[in-house]
Amino acid sequence: MARIFSSRKRMTDLKIQPAGILRYESSPGSLRALVEKCGGLKGLGAGDRTFIKPNLVALDESFPIPLYGVVTTTRLVHDMVLLLKEHGVESITIGEGSVYGRNFGVPTAEVFEALGYGELAKRYGVRLLDLHREPFSREDFGDYTLEISEPALSADVLINMPVLKTHNQAVVSLGLKNLKGCLSMKSRKACHAADGGLDGYLARFVEKLTPDLTVIDGIYGLEKGPFYTGTAVRMNALIASTDPLSADLVGAAAAGFDPGAIPHLRLCAGRRARSTDPEPVLRPGDDIDSVRKPLKWDNTWRADDTGPRAWDRLGVQGIRLPKYDATLCTGCSGLYSPILVLIMAAYRGEPFNEIEILTGKAARPSGEANKTLLVGNCMIKANRHAPGIRETVLVKGCPPGLDDVTDALRSCGIEADESGLMAFRRNLAERYKGKPGFDETFYKV
């Protein structure tokens, strides 16, 4: 299985391989059985340099907000390390570039520490890499280039371990999407370009960074993901394949989606003239229904796009917050939930004064608002001089700070108060306590 960077196989060379399913029951037995039935570590040599890419998207600074379904369970990553050790593998690297910005997240090293990875390093000599601090290689996709982490590209064996979750922009975040965490921040932002082509990028990372094994961790799935504002569901689903697309097709079906209706999966399949039907790529005897649990995708918005339907329950009026689109990159998306919560907490039953809040790169003013907040440098650039705006309120930054957003809301007469946000976070921190099936030891070693 040993390869060197220059000869590493590419997705375009891959034959279709089946995906296996197993219900999680114990550690490390369940993962071992699944990997064996998929031939997932076949040919692995003790001298191979292995690289595990979990999904450790971000940790809020107000952790311990539970991360069920948001990040890969530490337990399953620990199991994978044990399997590699059983194969005599010496060189094990776990790499991630967690989101860490002005409003959101902590450095990757702190994410590793909070989730018990320090113990994996201590016990098994695993090397932990913050990919933001490692070199990137500019990879040519023909019509564009992206900076991809060199340690991930140059590993002999790449093991992708996403979590089974929904994603507000990508519909699902499985193996193909998880590879985005191996991009530089600059390239991640480029994937959210104004043309809205995020799905096209998600479909193609795998052409340069082709996992040898994908294991989808569905011990917990996440509805209305990708962050902890979503709702976790205990599923006990494990899905694995040496073929990244097969794994994702089955993973999407396990979450109750038609994989052919998920744009980045459809595009990835289309580029290699493959079907998106998960049934033909299932291992004989495996059954998606044995783990299937339909997950709700996303919050729905009012028909006139003035805000989430949840605002109807409170009767929120006089404000327009169009639904985020694919051009909103992670930095600004970390502000989105706080904005929603601040507005709800500030609503006192009287309509706001026709305020409009625009985010991302593609939204356009309605021409009907008294004040238009342009959130983030991208939105300012796109609309600063747009016709139809009566008064602009600029919220500068890439991304802006939460304080700037709060000040801007106040300047529009919305009494935004961070205590409402803190109460919301406290609720999130408590909500799984005592619920059967929710066990914090899955995120410890």
Q: Is 399 in the site for ligand SF4 (CB under 6 A)?
A: yes
Find tokens 């802006």 and name the residue: 400
Least distance in angstroms from the C-beta of 101 to ligand SF4: 7
> Is 373 near ligand SF4 (CB under 6 A)?
no
How far apart CA 228 and CA 372 sit, in angstroms, is 29
d(CA 279, CA 28): 27
String of contacts with ligand SF4 for each residue 233-252, x by CB under 6 A:
--------------------
Which of 334/365 has CB closer to ligand SF4?
A: 334
- Contact between 58 and ligand SF4 (CB under 6 A)? no
For 305, phi then psi, to 5°, come to: 60, 30
Specify the residue, 136 or 324, whose C-beta has the smaller distance to ligand SF4.
324
According to CB under 6 A, which one of 222, 378, 395, 412 is a site residue for ligand SF4?
Answer: 378
Structure tokens at 207: 């052409």
Minimum distance between the CB of residue 40 and ligand SF4, rounded to whole angstroms? 36
- The residue with its CB nearest to ligand SF4 is 331
89, 239, 332, 358: which one binds ligand SF4 (CB under 6 A)? 332
Which is nearer to ligand SF4, 21 or 329 (by Cβ)?
329
Sites for ligand SF4 among residues 182-221 (CB under 6 A)? 189
Cβ proximity to ligand SF4, 182 vs 358, nearer residue: 358
Task: Please report, as residue ranges, which positions from 103 to 142 form the binding site for ligand SF4 (by CB under 6 A).
Answer: none
Nearest to 299 by CA among 310, 290, 315, 288: 310
329 binds ligand SF4 (CB under 6 A): yes
Stretch of 27-35, 299-307, 326-334, 349-357 lying at the interface with ligand SF4 (CB under 6 A)? 326-334
Query: How many chain residues interact with ligand SF4 (CB under 6 A)?
Result: 11
Contact window for ligand SF4 (CB under 6 A) among 155-163, 228-236, 277-285, 374-382: 374-382
Is 83 a residue that touches ligand SF4 (CB under 6 A)?
A: no
Shortest CB 16 distance to ligand SF4, Å: 36
CB of 362 to ligand SF4, least distance (A): 10
Nearer to ligand SF4, 172 or 329 (CB): 329
Helices 74-86 and 29-38, axial angle in degrees (round to 10): 60
- In angstroms, rounded to a whole number, what is the distance separating the alpha carbons of residues 255 and 437? 18
Instruction: Quote the CA–CA distance of 96 and 92 in Å, as a whole number.
Output: 13
Can residue 23 be called a binding residue for ligand SF4 (CB under 6 A)? no
Rule CB under 6 A: say whether 338 interacts with ligand SF4: no
CB of 398: closest distance to ligand SF4 in angstroms? 3
Binding region for ligand SF4 (CB under 6 A) out of 62-70, 328-336, 338-346, 383-391: 328-336
Site for ligand SF4 in 346-365 (CB under 6 A): 360
Evaluate whether 116 touches 59 at the Cβ level (below 8 Å).
Answer: no
CB atoms within 10 A of CB 271: 16
Contact 153, 138 (CB under 8 A): no
| Binding span for ligand SF4 by CB under 6 A among 24-32, 153-161, 291-299, 327-335 | 327-335
- Kindly list the residues in this chain that would bind ligand SF4 in the complex (CB under 6 A): 189, 328-329, 331-332, 360, 376-378, 398-399
